[in-house]
Amino acid sequence: MNADPAGVLTGAHFIDGDHACCEGAIAAGCRFVAGYPITPSTEVVERIAERFPRVGGVFIQMEDEIASSIAIQGAVWAGKKAMTVTSGPGFSLMMEHVGFAAMTETPCVFVNVQRAGPSTGLPTQPAQGDMMQARWGSHGDYQAIAVCPNSPQECFDLTIKAFNLSEQYRVPVFLMMDECVGHMTERVLIPPAEEISLVPRRWFLGSPENYEPFRAGPDMVPQMVKAGDGFHIHVTGLTHDERGYPNMSVPAQEKLVQRLHDKITKHSATIADYVEDQVEGADIVVVTYGITSRTALPAIERARKEGLKVGHLRLVVVWPFPEHRIRELASRISAFVVPEMNMGQVVLEVERCSAGKVPATLVGHTGGTVHVPEDIYQGIVNSRKGR
Amino acid sequence: MNADPAGVLTGAHFIDGDHACCEGAIAAGCRFVAGYPITPSTEVVERIAERFPRVGGVFIQMEDEIASSIAIQGAVWAGKKAMTVTSGPGFSLMMEHVGFAAMTETPCVFVNVQRAGPSTGLPTQPAQGDMMQARWGSHGDYQAIAVCPNSPQECFDLTIKAFNLSEQYRVPVFLMMDECVGHMTERVLIPPAEEISLVPRRWFLGSPENYEPFRAGPDMVPQMVKAGDGFHIHVTGLTHDERGYPNMSVPAQEKLVQRLHDKITKHSATIADYVEDQVEGADIVVVTYGITSRTALPAIERARKEGLKVGHLRLVVVWPFPEHRIRELASRISAFVVPEMNMGQVVLEVERCSAGKVPATLVGHTGGTVHVPEDIYQGIVNSRKGR
Amino acid sequence: MAEELYELDENLPVNPVESLLRMDRMPHIWCPGCGIGTTVNCFAQALESSGLDLRKTAIVSGIGCTGRVAGYLNLDSFHTTHGRAIPFATGLKLANPELKVVVYSGDGDLSAIGGNHFIHAARRNMDVTVILINNSTYGMTGGQVAPTTPMTAVASTTPYGNFESAFNLPALAESCGAVYVARWTAFHVRHTTKAIKEALLKKGFSFVEILAPCPTLYSRRNKLGDGLAQMVYYRENSEIRHGADTKDVALEFQGKIIVGKFVDRVRPTFGEAMDRYLRERLGADYLPATAGGA
Amino acid sequence: MAEELYELDENLPVNPVESLLRMDRMPHIWCPGCGIGTTVNCFAQALESSGLDLRKTAIVSGIGCTGRVAGYLNLDSFHTTHGRAIPFATGLKLANPELKVVVYSGDGDLSAIGGNHFIHAARRNMDVTVILINNSTYGMTGGQVAPTTPMTAVASTTPYGNFESAFNLPALAESCGAVYVARWTAFHVRHTTKAIKEALLKKGFSFVEILAPCPTLYSRRNKLGDGLAQMVYYRENSEIRHGADTKDVALEFQGKIIVGKFVDRVRPTFGEAMDRYLRERLGADYLPATAGGA
Amino acid sequence: MAEEKKKKAAGSVVITVERCKGCGFCVEFCPPHALKLSDQYNVKGYHPPALISREMCNGCNMCGMLCPDFAIYGFLQNKKSGKGSDRER
Amino acid sequence: MAEEKKKKAAGSVVITVERCKGCGFCVEFCPPHALKLSDQYNVKGYHPPALISREMCNGCNMCGMLCPDFAIYGFLQNKKSGKGSDRER
Amino acid sequence: MARTEIKIGGFGGQGVILSGYIIGRAASIYDNKFATMIQAFGPEARGSACSAQVIVAEDPIAYPYITSPTQMVLMSQEAFSRFSPELAEGGLLITEEDLVTVRNLRPGIRHLSIPATRIAEELGKRMVLNIVMMGFYGAVAGVTSKEALRKAVEVSVPKGTEALNLSAFEKGWTFAGR
Amino acid sequence: MARTEIKIGGFGGQGVILSGYIIGRAASIYDNKFATMIQAFGPEARGSACSAQVIVAEDPIAYPYITSPTQMVLMSQEAFSRFSPELAEGGLLITEEDLVTVRNLRPGIRHLSIPATRIAEELGKRMVLNIVMMGFYGAVAGVTSKEALRKAVEVSVPKGTEALNLSAFEKGWTFAGR
Ligand SMILES: Cc1ncc(C[n+]2csc(CCOP(=O)(O)OP(=O)(O)O)c2C)c(N)n1
Ligand SMILES: Cc1ncc(C[n+]2csc(CCOP(=O)(O)OP(=O)(O)O)c2C)c(N)n1
Ligand code: SF4
Ligand code: SF4
Ligand code: SF4
Ligand code: SF4
Ligand code: SF4
Ligand code: SF4
Ligand SMILES: [Mg+2]
Ligand SMILES: [Mg+2]
């Protein structure tokens, strides 16, 4: 399925990441957004508010982030693609509904334009401190997907990808931007609608008698219907059976929650998205995501110039974590260097998956600004010394 | 400092874990509780509501968990020890205020009686699915402490410990119970007040002119004063300087957030609390926490009877994670087995710290009940085979 | 002729409300003498007689004993999170304006944790019907104090009596802008049915509060007898006062219960105002939302 | 003699409000013509003249431009999270009943995300004074629509005009049980000062709404001129109507502004009711809370 | 007697005995007091209602509206078909 | 003239010029209109107020109450000490 | 007996949980053994089946759930059909005589019954049937001392009802001696 | 020049960010180079100092912040004192003649100034001073083509003000030719 041309502003634009995210959402077919203002994410919804009435979308500024994060799920069950947009403090408030979306298999997108925390922190300055929260922030076991753009162009592209992944697997997908990317203005090329492919909702096309809303086929993702189509579905955050009815038994829990887990982990190779540069034959691999995939480049180049064999593994999708690839590399290289605008989050996963074969060195900081390339360079150099 | 005898019900009681937690809080000097009912934690506050008026405490049932989790912080700044009590969905709603407590160094205790999730899940059945949430649930980088009791007796003892740790380090401390422990009734021995040692608030005793509320000494924990004492303090969730004033600069962020991090990580050896049984000379070490430290025992015994050298490392404090001890053991044993009532959370840390030296096998499930000892036994046996 | 009647007849008439219920889920979880089931009869009858398209009617509940209503109704039904039925319903309604969206939930759910959504939806005049079952307590979790528990009443978290005033919910709803506000009790089945029907047919934020017994955790604990005793109490102490000033309808512990239709007024719904303004400002550029689209 | 006056004098009189401010934090962050600073003068004067012990007075703000007030006042001051000043204040007050606790925050903070805490604290008659600066928008985040933005006004998230009715905050506060409710504008500095003083001295939930210009993000965007123009508007369009029925004081876009003291009544505070009931039920076993204890 | 003749509406009830939880709403509020709680128990241990006498029931379904367990339903008798009964299901 | 003599209250103002943001509140709402915006700029680029004439000021401090930047303060003159001035700080 | 696993079942209102509590308290507080009590809990418990598990042991109890109950006290037909199949070989089954019809019992089960409800009704309060049961249980099960159980009854029942409950307890105990 | 790093500084209301946007847009959309614009952002920015950073390069821009600005356009004294020390050796400094007193300039800086405010006022709208600046900047900096910059001005200013702004632009451009 291709994008609806009515919503696609084909052409070259000089816009920031927040605005590009808005355009990505519209191109992806998103037609419902509920949000609550918070720096540095507000520009996304401000543009949505302006653009939506022209493309058949509905935007509502809700009373808080809790309301926003559940209103979008109501809209999804009414048949729309929907997203909400926030930053750290608001993201924390949305955690209960991340779990609800996971449990009810409601496809939806949460955009988090990360700023420096904890708490109110530095509201106008960038960080990547919510990465583990995107993995573990709601109670109970669930799986979600997190995608990290590094430019306004990617804010456009990956917003579309986030919607596609969300529809494909019926999970909440996090677009983990940061203030730097959100407020950075660059050229964004919006392709013609027919070059934008979308994953449509996985509609069930049969008749109500044959429909069990939470019975999945071999790919573990059930088909959906929407309210108003006469299916009289029931959707609950309680543990439920295939009909969607509450079932307070351990076997029901096992069946449901295991499937919710497996539908992501067993597809993790398909979901994985990373970009490699000179990783083959590398001695040191720098693992980056989001804006660090750019701020690390001067450091990588300098190190290469000085003769170090430095590869660059840039994670586009951070969750599910590409365990397999890290494990493979760990047995071939001599060190990982992981620059993060936090005090060490994704590096823990790199460390775990490198299984002691090679060290994983964090180049972290407490946030508020992007890395100085020098620091990453030193991290690369030190990772060699460390041996 | 010892407990106030007025609050201590010295003697032997046959009570459940929820009630024991209440008594532990009172013995620890807690005199303010704000809560919102949620199964299976409600009995804690029900007993608090009954007991508090007799011991000078104030209980208020707030309108929701968000309010509860910040009302306790108001009470702390008024000079009280305070806690709130909840379960998964409520815990998710408290995440913003976990970060606020961490940022403002407000000592307080969050009790989470875990039930099976995600979302509403199985409200009356046990799980340990919120362990990673206790580590990573709020946005931004921060450190907290999590303690896991395995019996009503420990619900009493470790509630006191939670308060003590919280006052010592001025951090939010999580008492991570579960439905099984919370609703299990056993003998609880409450010692005489003079045998209960408490960490008093780290009061600043000088005069206002010499006081900077967020300047810390060598142990990195600043001294506190309370509202009403004429210090005219300022407390903010924004990045702040030693006076407590907002300071939106990267150096201020670095100084503050690094200290908040270090005050826990650099004391992690002191905070660490684990119980070892036959770990010396063990071949396989079973790592447990909370109720699994009991449900694993029949399996461990059986394996030992069959000649396996099985050690048992039971984590009382799970966060900060006892990295050091796991690393040590990893170089001496041949496998870790980690039973958890979740799909693999703490096992990730065990795996990371064992650094590929030995495998860390999860014996997990989706929650709703405790382990069948047989499963853990099989996990032990298979961990040997795995080699 | 009498005999005729007693002939075994495979085609015994079936309670028409059953067609609106998921009978495969019976028996329901509600206690003996719980009033929630009674209100479901009223709702079913009201819905039936409203002439609304059942395919286009969705019901949303939060969490609680009343929150289970959604799960027993044979409609598109959503059992959401505690307190969040209204914002979920808001998303549902705005995303497909053809739907009639009903929120059916408990007093704790809608007025404690969900209070903010309640007042904002009323303010916006969001086009949803809210049915709130006021049983003076949190039933599901064991009878804790609620914002609707009258002063002095005992609850598990107010063992010495409640020292907070209860909300006057009709007054709250009116002050925020609800266009239809009524209160009845589970005893007043005909009135309740009529009120729900009116609410369903009203455009905008319509609100029906229904007092119902929770014998297990409220009445017994307060020595008020069982569900039947509460129903008898409702019969004997209710006063129908249509159009009463909502300032005068606050509830007190075992006091008089003012019931009736208090507010019935017209103002543009969120959707109507949105459509009007956007059309005014954008003219032909305005593309209103339609059903579906994902 | 005239000369005398112009002698350079090291001891020039100092604005007495300065002693209540953290002058080491000046200049503050507020824009030219922002009305928040004006209300701070009123508060400082009111507090000064109230005779309250400044050591025992604490101020709590949420997040927003107004939320910065706490940080500029030389009191025990708490800048909490967005919307949560009231529950924080609740904890502070209940844990030390000797404190006078003031909540000072923005319209968005207290009535959007914080709306639930507002209505519940009013219902409980929690003994706090709430000062709400209504600038019709979310200033801090760039001028988005707020629950106080009048219908049709333009905001960054309602570029084609707002299609939601604004809250009538005095009516909301009254319907929930506030014991003191007044509204003034930043222009009415003397009245505002008096109202704040009365509120500070009132037991229970007292509420003062103060309209104030946000030239940067509300007035200019709506072509209403700068802060001064808004102030002039307040002067010319306000009508003092003490005791007005709060149902009649809703605000409209550039409409008449009814100001005055609307509610002043007595009912037991949460703390008083708690003390009374517990003493009644527990007698000598009741041990009331005292300050400190950790 | 003459009055009784005038009563055109003759009704009856269907009682799904096993659903009943014995709350008594139907019995207490049946306008003509046509119901009583039966002496027998259902499997859940509750006393379901029973018609005291067929003639008393006017089919108003007040009982059905009140029954929180969907266990009783009152209806107007169709004399022709004779459909309807107070028999249990 | 005679009236002016009667005016007992003589006042003045202290203006902290560098704090002023030129909003004009003080000027517009000074009851006796004793203030004007000065032609000069402060370092922030705003025109701070100035007394038009000392005699006009009655020391009511309406200006001070209105000033959102704590930049002006009106006071009653103590003729004995002569304390007080409209001088800048 | 190192570890006795006891299941008590009935319907809501029969005092099932209190029975479990009394046994546990008797054993752990007055007999100085170890006891763990766990109650079945769930929205489903509402009004319908209800059960408690008690483990009594000489040594600390590791695994807190019962795995193979050796004693059962069942007070409703539903409890009987649901739980009795789990009873361990050679176990003790006590039923309420009038409420439970015992069918298809495996051989090797020691079955005793008592018309506890009737006895309670004779005492004037149907509610004390569980205490009658406890007296009977105490006399035949041998897990706790009589004194301990009596004491546990005394302190666990509502204030003011001690005398009635203790005589119910005695009735149950002596019924066993018949 | 592979990478030009430009800093624009002034106070709120002078159109600092728009200036950055115009340069970036000109370069990236009309000149087909690469450009990244970042605006200083913070509650502190309110009313006081305000700045934008623009990088223009022939190749994709990795590191998005400027590290050593080679060109500066400064429109307030505060911006001058804060930012000018960072200007790279050999860099280009453009100031608003009437608003900035240039002092202590390191040697090797190419300094030009223009009374943009006065010129704008002559045009009848003080607000267009930033566009005057852009004209001047375009003429002397050589980073973007004139056509590109003109076009960027045209589409970036509020509808209806295009003509005024374009003449402001031309005024600035020709001022440089003086
Ligand atoms: C976030 C969250 N907090 C608390 C709960 C626990 N909880 C479930 S239902 C309920 C109260 C229900 O009360 P009410 O809405 O009055 O419904 P009732 O059961 O009385 O019909 C609570 C507090 C929850 N499920 N989620
Ligand atoms: C949880 C959360 N959501 C959103 C924000 C962003 N935010 C900060 S201030 C504010 C609104 C402030 O508006 P108001 O209370 O009216 O204060 P004003 O700035 O107008 O004085 C918002 C939405 C936040 N800090 N935290
Ligand atoms: S607990 Fe109360 S509200 Fe819930 S089902 Fe039982 S009687 Fe009804
Ligand atoms: S943005 Fe508005 S409310 Fe905020 S300081 Fe500026 S004028 Fe005041
Ligand atoms: S149908 Fe009416 S008259 Fe007949 S039993 Fe029911 S309530 Fe009574
Ligand atoms: S109302 Fe229903 S549940 Fe109650 S007694 Fe009658 S039939 Fe039974
Ligand atoms: S003190 Fe009064 S009279 Fe004097 S300048 Fe100020 S406002 Fe005017
Ligand atoms: S009121 Fe204050 S800021 Fe405004 S012009 Fe006067 S002195 Fe300046
Ligand atoms: Mg309720
Ligand atoms: Mg505001």
**Six token digits for residue F88:** 């800048």
Q: What number is the average pLDDT over the span A290-294?
A: 98
Q: Determine contact, residues A87/A112, Cβ cutoff 8 Å.
A: yes
pLDDT at A258: 98
Q: Domain for residue E3, yes or no?
A: no
Q: What number is the average pLDDT over the span D131-158?
A: 97
Answer yes or no: is pLDDT of A112 > 70. yes
Q: Which atom of ligand 8 is nearest to the CA of F21?
A: 3
Q: Determine contact, residues C164/C150, Cβ cutoff 8 Å.
A: no
Across chain H, mean pLDDT equals: 91
Write the single-letter amino acid at A210.
N
Task: Say if C113 is an interface residue toward chain A (CB within 8 Å).
Answer: no
Q: Domain for residue F1, yes or no?
A: no
pLDDT band at A96 (very low <50, low <70, confident <90, very high): very high
pLDDT at B181: 98
Q: Would you identify the CATH topology of the domain B275-385?
A: Rossmann fold (3.40.50)
Q: Which residues of C touch B49 (CB under 8 A)?
A: 156-159
Answer yes or no: is pLDDT of H39 > 90. no
pLDDT at F89: 54
The percent of residues in chain D predicted with pLDDT above 70, rounded, is 97
Contact H63 A14 (CB under 8 A): no
pLDDT at D2: 33
Across chain E, mean pLDDT equals: 83
Phi, psi for residue E76 in degrees, rounded to 5: -80, 135
Nearest CA in chain C to B59: C157
Encode pLDDT of A7-55 as tens digits.
Answer: 999 999 999 999 999 999 999 999 999 999 999 999 999 999 999 999 9
Q: Whose CA is nearest to atom 1 of ligand 6?
A: E67
Answer yes or no: is pLDDT of C4 > 80. no
pLDDT band at G47 (very low <50, low <70, confident <90, very high): low
Q: What number is the average pLDDT over the span E24-31?
A: 98
Distance of CA H155 to the CA centre of its chain: 17
With a 6 Å cutoff on the Cβ, whether B90 touches ligand 1 is yes
pLDDT band at F79 (very low <50, low <70, confident <90, very high): low
Across chain C, mean pLDDT equals: 95
Q: What number is the average pLDDT over the span A352-372?
A: 97
Alpha-carbon dihedral A17, A18, A24, A28, rounded to 10 degrees: 150
Q: How far away, in angstroms, is D14 Cα from ligand 7 center?
A: 15
Contact H47 D32 (CB under 8 A): yes
pLDDT at F77: 80
Alpha-carbon dihedral B84, B87, B93, B98, rounded to 10 degrees: 50
pLDDT at B137: 98
The percent of residues in chain F predicted with pLDDT above 90, rounded, is 62
Compute how many other C-beta atoms are within 10 angstroms of the C-beta atom of residue A109. 31
Q: Domain for residue F45, yes or no?
A: yes
Burial class (CB in 10 A: 0-12, 13-18, 19+), A101: buried
Nearest CA in chain A to G43: A248
Q: Domain for residue C278, yes or no?
A: no
pLDDT at A386: 55
pLDDT at A255: 98
The percent of residues in chain D predicted with pLDDT above 90, rounded, is 94
For residue D27, is the peptide bond before it cis, meaning its omega torsion is within 30 degrees of 0?
yes
Q: Minimum mean pLDDT among B370-384, D57-71, E67-81, H3-17: which range?
A: E67-81
Q: Domain for residue F6, yes or no?
A: no
Q: DSSP code of D144?
A: B
- The set of protein residues with a Cβ atom below 6 angstroms from ligand 7 is F 11, 13, 30-32, 34-35, 57-63, 74
Encode pLDDT of D227-274 as tens digits.
Answer: 999 999 999 999 999 999 999 999 999 999 999 999 999 999 999 999
Supply the range of the domain harboring residue D138. 2-269
pLDDT at E89: 54
Which helix H or strand E contains C36, and what residues bound it?
A: helix C36-50
Q: Based on the structure, what is the number of domains in chain F?
A: 1
pLDDT at C10: 56
Phi, psi for residue D10 in degrees, rounded to 5: -60, -25
Q: What number is the average pLDDT over the span G12-23?
A: 91
Task: Cite the DSSP H helix spans in B229-277.
Answer: 250-265, 268-271
What is the rounded CA–CA span in Å between residue B322 and residue B314? 11
The phi-psi region of residue E59 (left if phi > 0; otherwise alpha if psi is between -120 and 50; otherwise beta) is: left
Provide DSSP, chain F.
-HHHHH----EEEEE-GGG-----HHHHH-TT--EEE-SS--TTS---EEES-GGG-----HHHHH-TTS-EEEEE-BTTTTB--S-B-
Q: Based on the structure, what is the number of domains in chain D?
A: 1
Q: How far away, in angstroms, is D63 Cα from ligand 10 center?
A: 10
Q: Which atom of ligand 1 is nearest to the CA of B120?
A: 25
What is the rounded CA–CA span in Å between residue C36 and residue E23? 13
Answer yes or no: is pLDDT of A115 > 90. yes
Q: Can you tell me whether residue B140 is helix, strand or coil?
A: coil
Domain harbouring F49, CATH code: 3.30.70.20
Residue linked to tokens 């009343």:
C66
pLDDT at F41: 81
Across chain A, mean pLDDT equals: 97
Q: How far is G49 from chain A (nearest CA, A)?
A: 15
Encode pLDDT of H45-75 as tens digits.
Answer: 455 678 999 999 999 999 999 989 999 999 9
Encode pLDDT of D251-263 as tens digits.
Answer: 999 999 999 999 9
Report how far apart the first and last C-alpha atoms of chain F are (Å, whole number). Answer: 33
Encode pLDDT of G135-173 as tens digits.
Answer: 999 999 999 999 999 999 999 999 999 999 999 999 999
∠ Cα G54 G60 G62 (to 5°): 75
pLDDT band at D202 (very low <50, low <70, confident <90, very high): very high
Q: What is the CATH number of domain A2-195?
A: 3.40.50.970
Higher pLDDT, E2 or B355: B355
pLDDT at H103: 87
Write the single-letter amino acid at D109.
D
pTM of the predicted model as reported, rounded to 2 decimal places: 0.96
Encode pLDDT of A135-179 as tens digits.
Answer: 999 999 999 999 999 999 999 999 999 999 999 999 999 999 999
Q: Can you tell me whether residue B133 is helix, strand or coil?
A: helix
Domain harbouring D127, CATH code: 3.40.50.970
Q: Domain for residue D275, yes or no?
A: no
pLDDT at F87: 53
**Six token digits for residue H89:** 């050796």
Q: What number is the average pLDDT over the span H14-22?
A: 94
Q: Domain for residue F3, yes or no?
A: no
Provide DSSP, A252-282.
HHHHHHHHHHHHHHTTHHHH--EEEES-TT-
Q: Minimum mean pLDDT among A283-287, C64-68, D152-156, H11-15: which range?
A: H11-15
Encode pLDDT of B44-54 as tens digits.
Answer: 999 999 999 99
pLDDT at F9: 62
Encode pLDDT of H133-173 as tens digits.
Answer: 999 999 999 999 999 999 999 999 999 999 999 999 999 99
Answer yes or no: is pLDDT of D6 > 70. no
Q: Can you tell me whether residue D71 is helix, strand or coil?
A: helix
Q: Domain for residue F5, yes or no?
A: no
pLDDT at G105: 87
Q: How far is D249 from chain C (nearest CA, A)?
A: 11
Contact D140 H44 (CB under 8 A): no
pLDDT at F45: 77
Q: Domain for residue C279, yes or no?
A: no
pLDDT at C6: 35
Burial class (CB in 10 A: 0-12, 13-18, 19+), F48: buried
Cβ-Cβ pairs closer than 8 A, B with D, add up to 166
Which helix H or strand E contains G3, and what residues bound it?
A: strand G3-11
Structural domain spans, chain B: 2-195, 275-385
The percent of residues in chain H predicted with pLDDT above 90, rounded, is 76
Supply the range of the domain harboring residue F82. 11-88
Q: Which atom of ligand 3 is nearest to the CA of C133?
A: 3
Chain C residues 38-57 with CB within 8 Å of chain E: 38, 40-42, 45
Q: What number is the average pLDDT over the span F41-62?
A: 90
Answer yes or no: is pLDDT of G116 > 80. yes
Q: How far away, in angstroms, is C143 Cα from ligand 3 center?
A: 9
Q: Determine contact, residues C173/C122, Cβ cutoff 8 Å.
A: yes
ipTM: 0.96
pLDDT at E54: 85
Compute how many other C-beta atoms are within 10 angstroms of the C-beta atom of residue F8. 7
Phi, psi for residue A337 in degrees, rounded to 5: -125, 130
- Choose among D167, D175, D282: nearest Cβ to C160: D282
The percent of residues in chain B predicted with pLDDT above 70, rounded, is 99
Q: How far is CA D71 from CA A209, B14, D62, in A?
A: 63, 50, 11
pLDDT at H78: 85
Task: Say if A248 is an interface residue toward chain G (CB within 8 Å).
Answer: yes
pLDDT band at F2 (very low <50, low <70, confident <90, very high): very low
pLDDT at E8: 53
- Kindly list the structural domains of chain G, giving each domain's residue range(s) and its CATH number in brackets, ordered by start: 3-176 (3.40.920.10)
Compute how many other C-beta atoms are within 10 angstroms of the C-beta atom of residue A229. 17
Residue linked to tokens 């002034």:
H10
Q: What number is the average pLDDT over the span B211-239?
A: 97
What is the rounded CA–CA span in Å between residue E45 and residue E30? 23
- Choose among D81, D83, D144: nearest Cβ to A37: D144
Q: DSSP code of H35?
A: E
